[in-house]
Each structure stands twice: as C-alpha cells, then as structure tokens.
Structure 1
Amino acid sequence: MIIPLLQIVDLLLSVLLWIIIIQAILSWLVAFNVVNTHNDFVRQVLFALSRMTEPLYRPIRRIMPDFGALDFSPLVVLLIIQILRSIVLPAVARAAIGG
C-alpha cells in the first residue's frame, strides 16, 4: 500500500527537480540576453516557474547568508530533493516492507 505512494512522491520530486533546472537555465538565458523578457510567452513561463518554486526558496533564503547577486537557494533545494530521493524514500520503503 505504501510503495505506490512512495513512487508517486518520487515522481513528484523528480518533476520538481526538472522544474528547478528549467527555471535556472531560463534565468541564465534571460541574464545573458539570449531570451527576451518582453516576449509574453517567456514572461508567462518565468512567472509560472517562479510561482511554483518561490515557496520552496523563501525559507532557505531566510536561513542562508546573502551572497549578493548569487542565489544558492535552488541548489540547496536540489540537494534536499536528491537526499529525499536517494536516502529517505528508500529507507521508508525498506521499513514499510519490513526489511
């Protein structure tokens, strides 16, 4: 019963991982003027990605020191996701199976 639930959680964490990676790449493209933010589609994609990830970044930004223009909160969130996927979920699965 719990294994399918853990698979869904793993899938959601994987999707979130890709959302953060896409947001980072898109923000770099905007920073280097490769992508124009005056384009409505680009602006809407950036806005949507920001709305999805900002609740995850906000608590980390409160804890981490200010590094000026560098924002390490996406990196911290990616690290937390990887820890959850590689350590926590397998441990929960093993505990649920009883081994």
Structure 2
Amino acid sequence: MTSLFQIIMLILDIVWFVIIAHVIMSWLINFQVLNLRQPLVAQIWSGLDRLLEPIYTPIRRILPPMSGIDLAPLVALVAVYALRIILTNNAAAFY
C-alpha cells in the first residue's frame, strides 16, 4: 500500500507542475513573450490545454463569471494541494 500512496502523491505532483506550467505559459502568451504562430509553442500549448481542460471545465461551471479573470487554475491548484494534505494526514491507512 505504500507504493500506492507514493504513486498517488507522484500523480498529484505532476498535475501540480502541469497546472503551473500552463499558467506561466498563458501569461507569457498574453504578454506576447511567446507567439502561438511558432509550431513548438502551439503544440505545447495545445497539449497542455487538452490535458487540463477536463479539470477546468467543471470548475468553470461552478465559478461565477469574473469579467476576463479565469480562477479555474487557482481552484485546481488549491484542490490538488488539499488532496495532498488529506492523503498525507491519512497516510496511516496506506501502511
């Protein structure tokens, strides 16, 4: 069961870093540091967007419109961190 706990924690870490990468990349695109006309940038952006859209969509349905501010990544990060806390506090169930 220890390995199951470690695998779940690894997956949560990966999700955390993918969300952070998506947020940073969206800032760089909005501030025109990165250009979506470049094929590599467009492929990375498309891949991250496809990975995270199933996570963001239910959150966006719940959140009220914020006039251009997307809080779905922030809510997703808080949810991932909360899951890590819950799993860490209940780690005895895995041993």
Both structures adopt the same fold (TM-score exceeding 0.5): yes
Aligned identity (percent) is 39
Distance (Å, rounded) in 1 between the aligned partners of 2:92 and 2:79: 20
- Give per-residue Cα distances to partners, 1:12-57, cap 9 Å, x unaligned: 1001100000010000000011111100100000000001100000
TM-score in terms of structure 1 length: 0.91
2:17 is matched with 18
2:56 is matched with 57
**Unaligned ranges ≥5, structure 1:** none
Distance (Å, rounded) in 2 between the aligned partners of 1:91 and 1:72: 27
- From the CA coordinates, give the structure whose radius of gyration is larger: 1
TM-score in terms of structure 2 length: 0.94
RMSD: 1.0
Structure 1 stretches of at least 4 aligned residues deviating more than 2 Å after TM superposition: none
**Unaligned ranges ≥5, structure 2:** none
The one-letter code matched in structure 2 to 1:57 is Y
The size of the alignment, in residue pairs, is 95
Q: Does 1:41 align with 2:46?
A: no
Structure 2 CA distance for partners of 1:75 and 1:4, relative to 1, 3 Å: same
